[in-house]
Structure 1
Amino acid sequence: MNRTRLSCLLIVAALVFSISAAFAKDEPIEIVFSTYMPTSYPYLVQPLEDFMAYVEKETGGAVKFKFFHSGQLYKGKEEFAALERGDIDMAAPNDLYLTGIIPNTGISNLPFLWETPASMQKSLDAGLWDLGINDKFLEHNVKVLGRAAGGPYQIYAKGFSVTSPAEMKGQKWGVSGSTASKAIELMEGSPTTMSSGELYMALQRGTINGCTRPLITGLGRKLYEVVDNLSVTNMAYFTCVLAINKEKWDSLPADVQEVMIEAGKLRDQQQLAMLEEFMADAVAQYKEKGVNVHIATPEELGVFKEAMIPVHEWWLGKVPDGKKYLDFIEENH
């Protein structure tokens, strides 16, 4: 009798284990997505949210995302290292925070390579990063799924206006990478690399008295409260990368990978469309908030471009194969 009861218990235990195992297989794949960007950055964050919604829908719920925004987990300059370690599964890092790690990414911030975001996106879609940047990310255990134009950089100033490189001289500037730092140095300014979340307090305290950032940063971070002048020059860009930890990527089923690749392409195009719509309205918003807005004339831009030629030469010295990137952009923009 005891032996029979024991056999029954073993059978029941085996059935429970089998059912539990089968249920475990049906549990969704969890992907932790972290971004330093706040939800007040609509054309940057909304496409990420739609990317996740698309993947969840197209995989029939086989994938579920846990989304952390506004630097809830990591700040802008911390995200890439966290992604490389696998502390998070996905992120959308700003490539300009990576120029010290992957110098090739500085191509997006070289002054006056593209006149419009659409022109930049054309270069990205044509395969600009296939020239070597994607491989550099893989060396850091990161797989790139998307690359989207992040918007042109403008010049914000507190207590003075900027219409030429001469006004940059002697001022303290908050910048976002080594390429921007070099540009400021050539105009005899003093650069400090900092994330967008640090700008407001730095301007308020006088640690810096100017910065170079996209229009969305000034609105999203309320920089209009601590600056009084904005010069629209479209001087440089950044690339908003959509990336996943390589080990996490390799663990995903092939059909899920296909869905995510397609979703990445859709996100890139959505961001461009939202960026163009945003820029059409942003300048008016700054004026309404009391900021003096100066739209650089072609003549003024010509002076800036001439002053920035050494930045390209400096960058080519840091990136031995950099000329192929410049040549590719010339043919695909």
Structure 2
Amino acid sequence: MLALLAAASATALTVLPTDAEAATRMRCSHQLPPSHHIAKVVDRWAAEVKTLSDGNLDVQVFGSDSLIKANENILAVAKGDIECAFSLNFQWGKTLPLMNVTVGPYTMSSIEAWKKWPDSEAAAFLEERLLKKGVKNVAWMFQTNTSVFTSKGKPLLKPADFQGQKMRGLGPAFDRGLKAMGATPVAIPGSEVYQALATGVIDSAITDVAAAWSRKYYEVQDHMTVVPVLAAYLHGYVNPGWYNKLTDKDKAALKKAGDLAAGWAIDASQEAAASAPADLESKGVKVHIATPEENAAFKAAMAPAFAEGFADETGADGRKLLELVNKLQ
């Protein structure tokens, strides 16, 4: 009898699913360190997805390249190796250069335009193109419209100062603007820039002003020029096959959480951008806010080169997307 009861109990344990087994696993990879303001938004988004799905979506966030390297996230999701990832727009590079429309020098620096972005025609246009590349977009997270040109020993205040600088690049089209000022762009993932600066692999960099703080650039660079030269965003995406198997409730949870996160990201980014310059100065960095005249000089040097590169890379789709972006201004 005891043997029969034991057998029956064992059978029941194998049949009844645990909570972990019942939930749908959703592994999400990204490159940002835990202290980055958008990394915190991603964590908040993950918690919201769990809540809205009543725990059915088991969102597991892996930051700091701890699961998959930043430059491998897109392929990993498209192949179904993982369910979800977050990438910066310029990481799409030549795979989908349309994603770089906002890094055009001084193209989309308006916060009001970013508030309209998630439900805009421009966002929908990109979501269609992303799906053709094998990923389903689920979240837009504005990261910055305030960047810094970082350097050591002397500031970068005018185009001529970039002459001979080995500098971290952001992608083919944007890098044309750096080359136009005499710099030599070097492709380096964000998580590796600090080490490259520390060891002299590169001389200078461009990054989000808040990232310069969270990634501790102040330890290896002593001058930073604050410029509204580009707008960058992180976006979340999932494997379409995995997404199509979700219940309507879980799909709705992802949509709602994505909409909320878009607003959280704008708030967090504005707060981080406001505090970062003073934080950097407290570490001994000489921070210079570019004047209107200096910004005009940077735009004159960089914008034509970017426009030429973006047109070459994107063709008719690029022209259409620029029209849609202009509607947001």
Task: Give TM-score scaled by structure 2 length.
Answer: 0.91
Find the counterpart in structure 1 of residue 189 from structure 2.
Answer: 195
Q: Which residue of 2 aligns with 1:23?
A: 17
Q: In the alignment, is the contact (CA less than 8 A) between 1:181 and 1:193 conserved in 2?
A: no
Provide the residue aligned with 1:50 in structure 2. 44
Corresponding residue for residue 110 of structure 1: 104
1:85-164 equivalences in 2 (<5 Å): 85-131=79-125, 133-152=126-145, 153-164=147-158
1:235-283 CA deviation, whole Å, 9 max, x = no partner? 0122210111111111211111011111111011101111111111111
Q: Deviations over 1:275-300 (max 9, x none)?
A: 11111111111111111111111111
CA distance in structure 1 between the aligned counterparts of 2:221 and 2:240, rounded to whole angstroms: 41
Give the whole-Å Cα distance in 1 for the aligned partners of 2:56 and 2:80: 21
Structure 1 pair 121/209, CA: closer, same or farther in 2 (3 Å)?
Answer: farther
Which among 283, 298, 301 is matched to residue 304 of structure 1?
Answer: 298
User: Which letter does structure 2 place at the counterpart of 1:83?
Assistant: V
Larger deviation, residues 296-305 vs 319-328: 319-328
Deviates more, 1:53-62 or 1:240-249: 53-62
Provide the C-alpha distance between the structure 2 equivalents of 1:241 and 1:179, rounded to a whole number of angstroms: 20
Q: How does 1:9-88 map to 2 (within 5 A)?
A: 20-21=14-15, 23=17, 27-41=22-36, 43-88=37-82
Asked if 2 retains the 8 angstrom alpha-carbon contact of 1:34 and 1:71, the reply is yes
Residue in structure 1 matching 2:263, options 263, 266, 269: 269
Q: Match for residue 331 of structure 1?
A: 327
Residue equivalent to 1:204: 198
Paired AA for residue 310 in structure 1: A
Structure of larger gyration radius: 1
Instruction: Name the count of aligned residue pairs.
Output: 321
User: Residues 307-326 of structure 1, C-alpha deviation per residue, up to 9 Å, x if partnerless?
Assistant: 12231132112211212222
Q: List per-residue Cα deviations over 1:3-27 (Å, max 9, x = no partner).
A: xx9xxx8xx97x9868855637971
Could you say what secondary structure the match of 2:186 adopts? strand
Report the alpha carbon displacement of residue 231 of structure 1 after superposing the two structures with TM: 0.6
My pick for the range that moved more, 287-296 or 56-65, is 56-65
Distance 2:184 2:111 in 1: 28
User: 1:84–1:142: 8 Å Cα contact kept in structure 2?
Assistant: yes
- CA distance in 2 between counterparts of 1:67 and 1:295 reads 35
Q: Which secondary structure does the structure 1 equivalent of 2:155 belong to?
A: coil
Q: Secondary structure at the match of 1:87?
A: coil
Q: Contact 2:176 / 2:305 at 8 angstroms: preserved in 1? A: no
Shift of residue 136, structure 1, vs aligned partner: 2.4
Contact 1:47 1:271 in 2 (8 A): yes
In 1, Cα distance between equivalents of 2:181 and 2:33 = 32
Q: Secondary structure at the match of 2:17?
A: helix
Moved more, 245-254 or 319-328: 319-328
In the other structure, the counterpart of 1:313 is: 308
* Secondary structure of the structure 2 residue equivalent to 1:73: coil
Cα displacement (A) at 1:100: 1.6
- Pick closer, same or farther for the CA change 1:251–1:24 going to 2, 3 Å: farther
Mean alpha-carbon deviation: is it higher for 25-34 or for 170-179?
25-34
Paired with 1:108 and 1:194, the residues of 2 have a C-alpha distance of 20
> How far did residue 227 of structure 1 move?
0.6
- Answer yes or no: is the 8 Å Cα contact 2:165–2:183 preserved in 1: yes
C-alpha distance in structure 2 between counterparts of 1:30 and 1:156, whole Å: 40
Gaps of 5+ in 2: none
Q: 2:213 aligns with which of 201, 210, 219?
A: 219
Query: Does the Cα contact within 8 Å between 2:152 and 2:203 map onto a contact in 1?
Result: yes
Indicate the RMSD between aligned Cα atoms, in angstroms: 2.1
Q: What letter matches 1:36 in structure 2?
A: Q
- Give ranges in structure 1 of 5+ residues lacking alignment: none
- Name the CA shift for 1:169/1:120 in 2 (closer, same or farther; >3 Å): farther
- Which SS does the other structure have where 2:178 is aligned? helix
